[in-house]
């Protein structure tokens, strides 16, 4: 199934039920008085993240969602039943945006996380609330309040650990096929990847990470050129970026030199979201199999020197899988170190908090 990562829907919470105008009329009780009950509250609309979903395709078929209306109040001081809430399930990683204000109202990143997007209207008061010393028979009741209505936009940002960047035909799809069980389309022409692909890289039991392949970027992508701009959001959450570069651009394909390709994509990332350039980004020089080993190594070192590259870099052939697995091991070690640093920071924070508490108790 192709990934659908954007959807726009209309949500309407239920209206509150109307209050009732009623009077107690029973035999032998001539002065029964008002007994109209309140209307029930309308149902609210919630959005809930579900890890079993991975696309927003269902919202192509249904775009309007309405929660249940509250029941009207009744005589004998009977309250109307409240409307049932409506829950809309979306994939984990979905951002909810209010279309009218262009405001992000929620970002669901954990399974089971819920967000109230439209609150139900409150039920109206029955006439039993309006009885007073000067008005023993009030014939006034309040209508229920309307529920909230909103137009929402859903944007799915895949929760991947590693994101692949590169020009069209840099070999990203071949690379992800080489290191995971993902099977994206591979061909010798640009833009064979038309939607993001996820692959799970299993280093060993209980040690794995998720890698995302997005359509290739071209110059002007941040302004809407090409396909990659539609999917750059999917690498915003990643903790590490792999920048794949074709060392031997195919004839009739990318005309820029490898160093120019890197700088062009850096420019697009800066325009789209400057924070993405602050992420760890490793350079992967691909298609080394098209040259002799000594030539490939010399060209790689020349590219790295031209760029002044200070982060890790690798020379690989995604097609023959040569050099790909050592990168996966390095990535796993990178994540292990991040986890150790996080645990150490948490332990230090707990120790500091405990020391502060002990000092307060002693004082």
Residue 2 has pLDDT above 60, yes or no: no
Q: In the Cβ-directed half-sphere of 63, how many Cα atoms lie within 13 Å?
A: 8
Mean pLDDT of 149-170: 84
Interacting residues of 125 by C-beta distance below 8 A, sequence separation 6+? 19, 38, 141, 142
Q: In the Cβ-directed half-sphere of 163, how many Cα atoms lie within 13 Å?
A: 28
39, 78 Cβ separation under 8 angstroms: no
Whole-number pLDDT of residue 363: 57
Diameter of the chain by CA atoms?
109
Helix (H) or strand (E) holding 156: strand 149-156
Whole-number pLDDT of residue 189: 38
Whole-number pLDDT of residue 255: 63
Taken as a whole, the chain contains a residue count of 363
Triad 122, 128, 131: Cα angle to 5°: 125
How many whole angstroms separate alpha carbon 57 and alpha carbon 76?
A: 48
SS3 label, residue 329: helix
How many whole angstroms separate alpha carbon 23 and alpha carbon 135?
A: 13
The dihedrals phi and psi of 163, each to the nearest 5 degrees, come to -115, 140
Strand partners, 213: 164, 197
Q: Which tens digit of pLDDT belongs to each residue from 287-317? A: 888 888 899 999 999 999 999 999 999 999 9
CA 357 to chain centre: 38
Domain ranges of the chain: 6-129+136-156, 162-341
pLDDT band at 232 (very low <50, low <70, confident <90, very high): confident
Top-confidence residue, 344 or 215: 344
Whole-number pLDDT of residue 225: 45
Q: How many CB atoms lie within 10 A of CB 274?
A: 9
Q: Which tens digit of pLDDT belongs to each residue from 167-198? A: 877 788 888 888 886 564 444 434 444 456 77
Percent of the chain with pLDDT over 70: 85
What is the DSSP code (8-state) at residue 42?
P
How many whole angstroms separate alpha carbon 363 and alpha carbon 358?
A: 9
Top-confidence residue, 351 or 26: 351
Whole-number pLDDT of residue 200: 80
Query: Is 292 exposed, middle or buried (CB count within 10 Å of its CB: 0-12, 13-18, 19+)?
Result: exposed
Top-confidence residue, 234 or 108: 108
- Mean pLDDT is lowest, of 201-215, 223-237, 279-293, 296-310, for 223-237
Whole-number pLDDT of residue 221: 42
Under CATH, to which class is 162-341 assigned? alpha beta
- Say what the pTM is: 0.66
How many whole angstroms separate alpha carbon 234 and alpha carbon 157?
A: 5
Q: Which tens digit of pLDDT belongs to each residue from 93-131? A: 889 999 999 899 998 988 999 999 999 999 999 998 898
Mean pLDDT of 220-225: 45
Q: Do domains 6-129+136-156 and 162-341 have the same CATH topology?
A: no
Q: What average pLDDT is seen over the chain?
A: 83
Q: Which tens digit of pLDDT belongs to each residue from 346-363? A: 888 888 888 877 766 665
Joined tokens for residue 181: 């069980």
Mean pLDDT of 205-231: 61
Which candidate, 111, 77, 116, places its Cα nearest to that of 91? 111
Residue 29 has pLDDT above 70, yes or no: no
SS3 of 333-358: the string is HHHHHHHHHHHHHHHHHHHHHHHHHH
Pick the CATH number of 6-129+136-156 from 2.40.160.20, 2.70.210.12, 3.40.50.720, 3.30.420.10: 2.70.210.12
Break the chain down into helix, strand, coil percent, rounded to 5: 30, 25, 45
SS3 label, residue 87: strand
Query: Is 258 exposed, middle or buried (CB count within 10 Å of its CB: 0-12, 13-18, 19+)?
Result: buried
Q: In the Cβ-directed half-sphere of 84, how many Cα atoms lie within 13 Å?
A: 3
């Amino acid at each position: 199934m192709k990934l659908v990562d954007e959807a726009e829907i209309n949500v309407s919470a239920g209206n509150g039920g109307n209050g009732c105008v009623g009077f107690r009329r029973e035999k032998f009780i001539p002065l029964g008085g008002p007994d109209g009950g309140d209307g029930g509250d309308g149902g609210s609309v919630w959005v809930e993240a579900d890890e079993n979903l991975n696309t927003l395709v269902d919202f192509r078929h249904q775009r309007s969602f309405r929660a249940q209306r509250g029941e009207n109040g009744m005589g004998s001081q009977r309250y109307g039943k409240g409307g049932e809430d409506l829950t809309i399930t979306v994939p984990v990683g979905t951002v909810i945006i209010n279309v009218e204000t262009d405001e992000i109202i929620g970002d669901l990143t954990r399974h089971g996380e819920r967000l109230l997007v439209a609150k139900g209207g409150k039920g109206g008061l029955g006439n039993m609330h309006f009885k007073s010393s000067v008005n023993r028979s009030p014939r006034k009741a309040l209508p229920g309040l309307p529920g909230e209505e909103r137009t929402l936009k859903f944007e799915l940002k895949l929760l991947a650990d590693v994101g692949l960047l590169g020009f069209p035909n840099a070999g990203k799809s071949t690379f992800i096929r080489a290191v995971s069980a993902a099977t994206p389309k591979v061909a010798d022409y640009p833009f064979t990847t038309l939607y993001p692909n996820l692959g799970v890289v299993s280093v060993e039991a209980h040690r794995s990470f998720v890698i995302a392949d997005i359509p290739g970027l071209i110059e002007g992508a941040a302004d809407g050129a090409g396909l990659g701009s539609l999917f750059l959001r999917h690498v915003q959450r990643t903790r590490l970026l792999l920048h794949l570069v074709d060392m031997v651009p195919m004839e009739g394909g990318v005309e820029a030199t490898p160093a120019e390709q890197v700088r062009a994509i850096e420019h697009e990332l800066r325009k789209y979201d400057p924070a993405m350039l602050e992420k760890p980004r490793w350079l992967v020089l691909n298609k080394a199999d098209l040259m002799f080993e000594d030539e490939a190594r010399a060209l790689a070192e020349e590219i790295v020197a031209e760029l002044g590259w200070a982060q890790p870099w690798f020379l690989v052939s995604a097609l023959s899988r040569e050099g790909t697995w050592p990168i996966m091991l390095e990535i796993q070690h990178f994540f292990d170190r991040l986890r150790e640093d996080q645990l150490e920071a948490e332990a230090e924070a707990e120790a500091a908090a405990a020391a502060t508490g002990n000092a307060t108790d002693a004082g």
